Copies of this chain bind each other. A is one copy, B any other.
Amino acid sequence: MADGYLSFTNTPWGHWLARTLGLPQPLPLQRYRPGQAGNLLNPVVLAAGPQGRLSGELQRIFAATDTVAAVPARIDAPSTVKVRGLVFDASGLADVPQLDELYRFFHANVRRLSAHGRVLVLGTPPEHCTDLAHAVAQRALEGFVRSLGKELRRAITVQLLYVQPGAETEMDSSVRFFLSRRSAYVCGQVVRIAEPVDFPGDILWDKPLTGRRALVTGACRGIGLAIAQVLAGEGAQVVCLDIPAVEAELQLVAASLGGTALALDITAPEAAERLLAFAGEQGTFDIVVHNAGITQDKTLAKMTEAAWRKVMAVNLEAPLRLSTALLEGQGINPGGRIIGVSSIAGIAGNLGQSNYATSKAGVIGLVQGLAPLAARRQVTINGVAPGFIETQMTAKIPLLLREAGRRMNSLAQGGQPEDVAQAIAWLAHPASGGINGQVVRVCGQSLMGA
């Protein structure tokens, strides 16, 4: 959908006007395009605080991706050479005074970042620190990363990756995601890397989903369509599921992706059974994306019971039932990935969306509750929580509210459906087995939260 303000402020006259009036000056994001140069951000500066345990593995990843990683002789060595990424291994920062190293590196280097650059701070999960001072210093990183995300602007994003001791080799897919154009609309996020639930063997980094069967619900349009497209682009065989009413459209979508259409009402009592039968006939799944979702907004006093129930049935009950049925009925393979779609509304609540927010908070409960059970079958389940994404749904929001929703994030713009899809492709990656039970926001670091 069109963001007129974004276009306008990137004309010379619009830029001047926005700057003069102190208005937001969003840059058009540089998104991933297959085969295009610059998809991986290069060069970067790599530095580590004392006792960092991640530099070796980071160097290996940079070497494998032809990323030039300059390692400064001194952490705060001054330089004016522009770079596209700053990577700091903070995993060993063992107490509060050692956080000075974090300050020193970023104070000296932050001006070197080009527009559209990336910052990645890596730490040790506080809950895995045996020493209190270490845990406190590591937990403090969250405040740093989120502040930096809010102050750098110019389409720069900042994330924190907590890597569990012993899981150093599992951060590959996440480092590549966060240091690439794929994560253009993800900012201020905290992700934990643990021991993987599966051992995928060799990974085709070029088309990592080759040979994988993916199910995407609500695949006919909007975010679901983008998910199906991106997964197919990464090599997956996509089963596009949507309601029978749009079957003709669905057939076209599936055909365009070399995939299969499955017209099914996921809220029907026999939906799980039919899906399992389909998997039995056509092939079981490696990736399941619960994207189908609806809204029926009203304040609670005016909301009908039908509106409550419908939203709960589609957004929450169906993902819960289908996930457990697929796991129990072996409709999803070992090494499988389940991805739920939550929402900022599920995290922060939203006026007039008590049904929607309840269902989307429930999706977080599903992700967190099912993760240990899924892991026993070598399957991960994670969630994405989109913020303001430009779709037909958000195009219907009244202008002023829409403008507020678009600008109230660190990138001062709405995201595109493909931004959500790219985050899902990262979670669905065969190398992402160390990520389980987590919800990642795709919101440009929206102000809104809990």
**A positions within 8 Å CB-CB of B:** 96-97, 99-100, 102-104, 106-107, 110-111, 126-127, 129, 132-133, 135-151, 188, 299-301, 303, 305, 308-309, 312-313, 316-317, 320, 324, 345-362, 364-366, 368-370, 373, 447-450
Chain B residues positioned under 8 Å from A352 (CB to CB): 147, 151
Residue pair B143, A303 in contact (C-beta under 8 Å)? no
Residue pair B126, A368 in contact (C-beta under 8 Å)? yes
Residue pair A324, B132 in contact (C-beta under 8 Å)? yes
**Chain B residue at minimum C-beta to C-beta distance from A344:** B449
Residue pair B301, A358 in contact (C-beta under 8 Å)? no
Most chain B CB within a 10 A radius of its CB, from A351, A355, A362, A447: A362
**Chain B residue at minimum C-beta to C-beta distance from A360:** B143
Known: A299-B151, A373-B132. A349 touches B145 (CB 8 A): yes
Most chain B CB within a 10 A radius of its CB, from A132, A139, A316, A370: A139
Chain B residues positioned under 8 Å from A111 (CB to CB): 301
Closest 6 pairs (CB-CB, A-B): A449-B449, A146-B349, A139-B365, A143-B361, A140-B362, A143-B357
Residue pair A188, B146 in contact (C-beta under 8 Å)? no
> A358's contact among B147, B188, B353, by CB below 8 Å, is which?
B147
Known: A110-B300, A354-B151. A369 touches B126 (CB 8 A): yes
Chain B residues positioned under 8 Å from A143 (CB to CB): 345-347, 349, 354, 356-362
Residue pair B351, A104 in contact (C-beta under 8 Å)? no
> A188's contact among B103, B136, B450, by CB below 8 Å, is which?
B450
Residue pair B188, A147 in contact (C-beta under 8 Å)? no
Residue pair B188, A349 in contact (C-beta under 8 Å)? yes
Residue pair A140, B316 in contact (C-beta under 8 Å)? yes
A314 to chain B, nearest CB (A): 11
Chain B residues positioned under 8 Å from A99 (CB to CB): 312, 358, 362
> A308's contact among B103, B356, B366, by CB below 8 Å, is which?
B103
